[in-house]
Amino acid sequence: MNIALVAALLFAALLAGSRPAAAERLVASLTNHRVLITSNYTGVELVLFGTVESDGASPVRSGAFDIVATVTGPRESLRMRRKARVLGIWVNTQGRTFVDPPSYLAVVSNRPLDSIAGDEARRRLQLGIADTPLPELINNDIGEVANDPFRAALVRLMYKRGLYNEASNGVTFLTPTLFRAAIALPASVPTGNYTVDVKLFADGNMIARTDSTFQIVKVGFEQFVVEAARDHGLLYGFATALMAMVTGWIASVAFRRD
């Protein structure tokens, strides 16, 4: 009787916990893998299309799917400063160095993250900005600080610049298995390589994931100027100085009155 109960429980657990491998497959693609920054660039919205494919062997899942897409930009270290009043004026008195936080971080999903997965799963999968590690430099050591006001300020300021964003309405299911995710890239996004990590959830568990990448690059005249400034700084400096002199000279000739 006891043994039968344990066996039944085990069987139920097996059914619920360990799903047959690759019962669902996630296929996703971006509309564009290269975002070009030209002289009239003012930001762009990138679209990710995807579909949940069943392998046909297992029964079709009856429950709804959830999608969470995390877009991570190039990583760059930064310093957070906090002002305090010293002798009547506001002075930066404290600072923290964050080691390689993403310069862009967007998490889009079809409904709020806490209704997609539980606390433990979100922490484990680093789902959402609150559960993304942002390590700091602490006395030549790199680690995370619990309940850090500097971390909160970093996230808040990045939100304000449109560089960090969490949108629980960013993913729409067009059919029960076909979805579309919108990724907003504001004008201030840094150039470089971006990764898109798409996770498929059902009943609070991640059942499939896939990833994709895209690049934000400057092209044409923009690229020419940036490369000239970066690789031939001295020459670029002389060229701009010459440009200043020519402009000044043209003005003095054009407005000459004697």
Partner 1 sequence: MQIFLPIADIPVNVFLVLAMGLAVGFISGMFGIGGGFLMTPLLIFIGVQPAVAVASVTTHVAASSFSGAIAYWRRNALDMTLALTLLAGGIVGSAGGVALFTWLRALDQLDLAIGLSYVTLLGIVGLLMVGEGARAIVRAYQGKPPVLRRPGSHAWFLGLPLKLRFKRSKIYASAIPVLAIGFIIGFLGAVMGIGGGFLLVPLLIYLLRVPTATVIGTSMVLTFLTMVSATVLHAATNHLVDAVLALILMAGGVVGAQFGARAGQRIRSEWLRLLLGLLVLAVGSRFAFQLVLRPEDLYSIRMIEGGP
Site residues (CB under 8 A) for partner 1?
37-43, 76-85, 88-92, 95, 97, 99-100, 137, 150, 153-154, 156-158, 187-188, 190, 218, 221-223, 225-226, 229-230, 233-234, 236-241, 243-245, 247-252, 255, 258
Looking at residue 75, what DSSP letter applies? B
Nearest distance, CB of residue 73 and partner 1, angstroms:
13
8 vs 225 by CB, closer to partner 1: 225
9 vs 245 by CB, closer to partner 1: 245
Nearest distance, CB of residue 208 and partner 1, angstroms:
35
What separation in angstroms does the CA of 14 have from each of 17, 19, 104, 144, 152? Answer: 5, 8, 40, 36, 41
Q: How far apart are CA 75 and CA 193, in angstroms?
A: 9
Nearest distance, CB of residue 41 and partner 1, angstroms:
5
Nearest distance, CB of residue 145 and partner 1, angstroms:
15
15 vs 89 by CB, closer to partner 1: 89
Q: How far apart are CA 77 and CA 139, in angstroms?
A: 16
Nearest distance, CB of residue 58 and partner 1, angstroms:
48
Nearest distance, CB of residue 258 and partner 1, angstroms:
7
176 vs 233 by CB, closer to partner 1: 233
Q: What is the 3-state secondary structure (H, E, C) of 162-216?
A: CCEEEECCCEEECCCCEEEEEEEECCCCCCEEEEEEEEEEECCEEEEEEEEEEEE
7 vs 245 by CB, closer to partner 1: 245
Q: Let me know how long the chain is.
A: 258
Strand positions, DSSP E, the chain: 24-30, 34-37, 44-54, 65-72, 78-86, 89-98, 105-109, 136-138, 141-143, 164-167, 171-173, 178-185, 192-202, 205-218
16 vs 243 by CB, closer to partner 1: 243
Tokens representing 141 are: 């050591």
Q: How far apart are CA 141 and CA 137, in angstroms?
A: 6
84 vs 146 by CB, closer to partner 1: 84
Angle of the 233-254 helix axis to the 220-231 helix axis, nearest 10: 120
Nearest distance, CB of residue 192 and partner 1, angstroms:
12
Nearest CA-CA partner of 232 in 242, 243, 240: 240
